[in-house]
Amino acid sequence: MALTIGMLGRATHTKVETIRYYERIGLLSAPGRSGGNYRSYGEAELGRLSFIRRARQLGFSLDQVRALLELSDDRGRDCATVDALARGHLAEVERKIADLAALQRELAAMVDSCHGGTVGSCRIIEALGPTRSD
Amino acid sequence: MALTIGMLGRATHTKVETIRYYERIGLLSAPGRSGGNYRSYGEAELGRLSFIRRARQLGFSLDQVRALLELSDDRGRDCATVDALARGHLAEVERKIADLAALQRELAAMVDSCHGGTVGSCRIIEALGPTRSD
DNA sequence: GCTTGACCCTGTAGTTGCTACAGGGTGCAT
DNA sequence: ATGCACCCTGTAGCAACTACAGGGTCAAGC
């Protein structure tokens, strides 16, 4: 069961360049080469890359993914660290949601206040300029 | 009323480097120089930079800000374009909120399922690995 | 008048997480 | 043998800044 980089990419919905990038930054280790210097992947790499992609989809940064991978390799260890990492990320996501919600309210109010007309009297432009003197 | 770049930065909560960056990419035009080749700003630049920072705070991209600035300079024009831009951005923000909310639900479920123990039996790690065979 | 320190200048490289070439080599089918 | 899909390396680009390095300027205090 040897995969080329293209096959691995298709299996994990990952661009070939992205896989090479992960290798370059040390998130994936360099795989074996076969025949004409092509990368050759197996089951293990498929699992690892799937893990990475799933974590990325959940919004973990590459550094967080790196930490999760390291932790997950040490199966005997207490999973409190993993839990803390996930909880931290969750808190971050919740903060972002709150920020965006505030933004959304402001934008909605801005858009609502526009009743057409010219830019000169546009409430949106007005809302952006704090002191449009003149 | 001439401002140095540092004063302008303090007045608009903008780092000096950021102001120079905005000038480099043409968002701010090059100001006059005074004395020993220092940039010298006036009321107009203060207003323009405030506008930019406010729009950025509201999550508009620099390209969107550039468009808004161009539109706001033409005060006789119909403000429908401004409205469309703001509405488009609002829709984008709302999409982001929905995405993050979905993420939040998944992360919360993941974190909830962790009841301590070792990494080997950690539900979080399990949730990330789709097919951790073996 | 000379030093100290805060400020200013230019130019370049780093950040995150990829993506997109350019300029080649390989493998398989026709 | 020739086309085509795929692979290789290396480098540069995206957003939107940020952070230096290596200098020049200016006002105050001694």
Q: What is the CATH number of the domain that holds A23?
A: 1.10.1660.10
**Which of A18-32, A98-112, A118-132 shows the highest mean pLDDT?**
A18-32
A14 and A52 in a single domain? The answer is yes
Q: Which of A57-66, A76-85, B27-36, B90-99 has the lowest mean pLDDT?
A: A76-85
* Domain end marker among B62, B77, B92: B77
| CA dist., res. B82 & res. B67, Å (int) | 9
pLDDT value of residue A26: 93
Nucleotides in chain D with any atom closer than 7 Å to protein CB: 6-10, 15-20, 24-26
Task: Report the number of distinct structural domains present in chain B.
Answer: 2
Alpha helix segments (H runs only) across chain B = 5-12, 16-24, 43-57, 62-73, 80-112, 123-128
pLDDT value of residue A130: 65
A119 and A55 in a single domain? The answer is no
B89 and B56 in a single domain? The answer is no
Mean pLDDT, rounded, for A53-80 = 91
Whether B132 has a pLDDT exceeding 80, the answer reads no
pLDDT value of residue A22: 97
Whether A134 has a pLDDT exceeding 70, the answer reads no
Q: Express each pLDDT in B62-115 by its tens digit.
A: 999 999 999 988 888 888 889 999 999 999 999 999 999 999 999 999 898 888
**How much is the mean pLDDT over chain A?**
91
Q: Express each pLDDT in A1-54 by its tens digit.
A: 799 999 999 999 999 999 999 999 999 999 999 889 999 999 999 999 999 999
- Closest residue in B to A96 (Cα–Cα): B100
Q: Do B119 and A80 touch (CB under 8 A)?
A: no
DSSP state of B78: B
- The better pLDDT of the pair B129, A82 is held by A82
Cβ < 7 Å from nucleic strand C: A 15, 17-18, 21, 35-38, 56, 61-63; B 4-7, 9, 16-17, 20, 37-39
A59 vs B: CB within 8 A: yes
A6 and A60 in a single domain? The answer is yes
A37 vs B: CB within 8 A: no
A89 and A99 in a single domain? The answer is yes
| CA dist., res. B134 & res. B124, Å (int) | 17
Range of the domain at B88: 79-134
* Domain end marker among B41, B62, B77: B77
B85 and B73 in a single domain? The answer is no
A33 and A82 in a single domain? The answer is no
Share of chain B above pLDDT 70, in %: 96
| CA dist., res. A2 & res. A5, Å (int) | 10
Q: Do B129 and A51 touch (CB under 8 A)?
A: yes
* Domain end marker among B60, B77, B94: B77
B86 and B120 in a single domain? The answer is yes
| Interface residues 86-125 of A with strand D (CB < 7 Å) | none
State which residue has its Cα closest to the C1' atom of D19.
B17
A87 and A55 in a single domain? The answer is no
pLDDT value of residue A131: 56
A97 and A109 in a single domain? The answer is yes
DSSP state of B113: T
pLDDT category at A127 given cuts 50, 70, 90 is confident
B9 and B70 in a single domain? The answer is yes
Which residues in A lie closer than 8 A to residue B121 (C-beta atoms)?
79
A70 and A26 in a single domain? The answer is yes
Mean pLDDT, rounded, for B26-35 = 93
Whether B4 has a pLDDT exceeding 60, the answer reads yes
**How much is the mean pLDDT over chain B?**
91
| CA dist., res. A55 & res. B66, Å (int) | 35
Q: Do A119 and B75 touch (CB under 8 A)?
A: yes
pLDDT value of residue B35: 83
pLDDT category at B131 given cuts 50, 70, 90 is low
Q: Are A114 and A126 contacting, i.e. CB atoms less than 8 angstroms apart? A: no
pLDDT value of residue B134: 39
